[in-house]
Chains A and B, each alone.
Chain A
Amino acid sequence: MNDKLFVKGSEAIAEAAVRAGCRFFAGYPITPQNELPEYMSWRLPEVGGTYVQGESEMASMNMIFGAASTGTRCMTSSSGPGLSLKAESLSCALGSKLPHVMAIMMRGGPGHGIIFPAQQDYEFAVHGPCHGGVKQFILAPSTAQEAVDLTYSSFDIADKYRTGVLILGDGFLANTIENVTFPPMKKLEDLPQHKDWKITEYDPNHHKLITSYFPPEIMEQENIKMGQMYEYWEEHETQYQNYLMDDCEILICAYGSTGRICEEVVDELRNEGLKVGLFRPITLHPFPKKVFEEIDYNRVKLIVSVEMAIPGQLVEDIKNYVARRTRVEHFGRSGGVLINPGEIKEAIHKMVEE
């Protein structure tokens, strides 16, 4: 297979996962990401891997639970409603410290939502969706190429911290076809072997038990370690794009597809004489909160959170981090209505005039 392709975002994620060493995939059909499992269904057998179509989102997630417990790099994918259904088992998988990767393409509203590009699940993914206070590592790629690069590294993050990594995207990312260059195929023997915990390693004196159920004292310790891990992530694992932030007077905050769209908005507004910059968080958890401690609030008079979400979701976090040190506004489209650079520009001009 060529390393360079003109390919759909969902398929790009799938191929990147295979090259990262993913050898097991289970999923349930749901739009807008069906091309991902479809791709895996023929691609995995080519490299000696396994694809199983689960009878439900829960079953698919639990197949990942089983596969991960054997130390196999594994993945599932779905959309917002699927994340709701997977949430129970996701909590168990995270609590049981099973490394795995999940790609979720958000939808446009509650319930069935709508299949078109939207970012209505930031709140749910970042501040949820698991019972028990457990969280996952969340990456929000903005282009197919970034999705490839992040998916490729996501398996390493999952292995390193024995955690779950969520690739959070939307219909834009899933369905846009664009140029992508793939990294090389990893050799399975070079990957972490997890001999100390995987259940396929037997030692009569060291019973291996994959569980998220512990007696109180141990459970508390587990929770403490979990909290320490999230703090460590925040210190060492945050990623974001700083596009012309350093001298900006107006700061746009946007992630994922909206982030790439806003990069264009920054260029055009600069041409029109406004000093605009872009902060695009790439890790949504851990969130690059520190950025908001380093901002010169005498210079930055306006922060605009641009999202494909109504009511705004990211904006609520930004408000928390900014803590009333400057004006914070939200501009969004939602419900699957496409957001475009022109209307974002107009909205910002209007905010400046106010």
Chain B
Amino acid sequence: MERSLLVAGFGGQGVMLIGKNIGYTASKKDLNATFFPAYGAEMRGGTANCSVVVSDSKICSPVKQELDEIIVMNDLSYEKFAGRVKKGGALYINSSLIEAKYEGDDITTYYVPVADIARKVGNPLVANMVMLGAYVANHEDIDVESMKETIKENLHGKENLIDVNIKAFEEGINLMKGGTQ
């Protein structure tokens, strides 16, 4: 098993954290994982992205031309990366910010209104955790409780933000389980 993911958005949306949490939680489960952050060079307009590869065997390249899954958090990322999902792969779209609709049926698309949900939860900054929840809901091999532990570890020193982050994460899971597509 090897699965590649790219998470892209603009600075401040917490795209790095989505990727890092997925990589770290996989590594806790004795899977191999690589997380590579990219800012700049291939990017424009203050955007950032990261590549995550999770595998039960050796990982050669931490970056890929085509990816199994891509999460896009803003328009620019959608334009740049949507076409790089492999056939049969999945594209997660922040539908609160991205109006475009993916044309074609070669991949699965998920439209997740992460910013709207984050606002409902009470903090627009946790939109990334909603997206993380939506992603985790679709992957049985990522343990939900383990991911919650990861989220808590990241908030060391900001314990007052744990509840809202966990809530956002859970809302993301619920949304997917409820079958929003």
A binding-site residues for B, Cβ under 8 Å: 6, 108, 114-116, 172, 175-179, 260-261, 263-264, 267, 335-338, 340-343
Which chain B residues (49-102) contact chain A, with CB distance < 8 Å? Answer: 59-66
Q: Is the CB of B36 within 8 A of A176?
A: yes
What is the CA–CA distance of A135 and B36 in the complex, to the nearest angstrom? 32
Q: Is the CB of B42 within 8 A of A338?
A: yes
Q: Is the CB of A108 within 8 A of B36?
A: no
Q: Is the CB of B65 within 8 A of A178?
A: no
Chain A residues, Cβ within 8 Å of B35? 176-178
Q: Is the CB of A116 within 8 A of B65?
A: no
B33 at the interface (CB under 8 A from A): yes
Which chain B residues (149-166) contact chain A, with CB distance < 8 Å? Answer: none
Chain B residues, Cβ within 8 Å of A341? 60-61, 64-65
Q: Which of B33, B36, B37, B64 contacts A6 (CB 8 A)?
A: B33
B binding-site residues for A, Cβ under 8 Å: 20, 23-24, 27-28, 32-42, 59-66
Question: 5 A-B contacts, Cβ less than 8 Å apart?
Answer: A176-B34, A178-B32, A179-B27, A336-B40, A338-B41
Chain A residues, Cβ within 8 Å of B37? 175
Chain B residues, Cβ within 8 Å of A337? 41-42
Closest B residue by C-beta to A5: B27
Closest 9 pairs (CB-CB, A-B): A342-B65, A264-B60, A336-B41, A6-B27, A261-B61, A177-B35, A116-B41, A263-B60, A340-B65
What is the CA–CA distance of A181 and B28 in the complex, to the nearest angstrom? 13
If A6-B24, A116-B41 touch, whether A340 touches B33 (CB-CB below 8 Å) is no
Q: Is the CB of A179 within 8 A of B32?
A: yes
Chain A residues, Cβ within 8 Å of B34? 176-178
| Interchain nearest-CB distance for B31 vs A (Å) | 8
Q: Is the CB of A260 within 8 A of B60?
A: yes
Q: Is the CB of A116 within 8 A of B62?
A: no
Q: Is the CB of B23 within 8 A of A340?
A: no
What is the CA–CA distance of A266 and B180 in the complex, to the nearest angstrom? 40
Q: Which of B32, B42, B61, B66 contacts A264 (CB 8 A)?
A: B61
Chain A residues, Cβ within 8 Å of B65? 340-343
Chain A residues, Cβ within 8 Å of B62? 172, 176, 178, 260
Q: Is the CB of B42 within 8 A of A261?
A: no
Chain B residues, Cβ within 8 Å of A260? 60-62
Closest B residue by C-beta to A144: B34
| Interchain nearest-CB distance for B7 vs A (Å) | 14
Chain A residues, Cβ within 8 Å of B28? 6
| Interchain nearest-CB distance for B16 vs A (Å) | 10
| Interchain nearest-CB distance for A265 vs B (Å) | 8
Closest A residue by C-beta to B19: A177
| Interchain nearest-CB distance for A162 vs B (Å) | 36
What is the CA–CA distance of A336 and B39 in the complex, to the nearest angstrom? 10
Q: Which of A175, A261, A335, A343 contacts B41 (CB 8 A)?
A: A335
| Interchain nearest-CB distance for B86 vs A (Å) | 10
In addition to A263-B60, A338-B41, A342-B66, 6 A-B residue pairs with Cβ atoms within 8 Å of each other are A114-B40, A172-B62, A336-B40, A336-B41, A338-B38, A343-B65
Chain A residues, Cβ within 8 Å of B61? 260-261, 263-264, 340-341
What is the CA–CA distance of A336 and B61 in the complex, to the nearest angstrom? 16
| Interchain nearest-CB distance for A78 vs B (Å) | 20
Chain B residues, Cβ within 8 Å of A261? 60-61, 63
Q: Is the CB of B38 within 8 A of A6?
A: no
Closest B residue by C-beta to A114: B41
Q: Which of B41, B59, B64 contacts A340 (CB 8 A)?
A: B64
Closest B residue by C-beta to A8: B35
Chain A residues, Cβ within 8 Å of B39? 116
Q: Which of A179, A263, A267, A335 contacts B33 (CB 8 A)?
A: A179
Closest B residue by C-beta to A263: B60
What is the CA–CA distance of A108 and B60 in the complex, to the nearest angstrom? 22
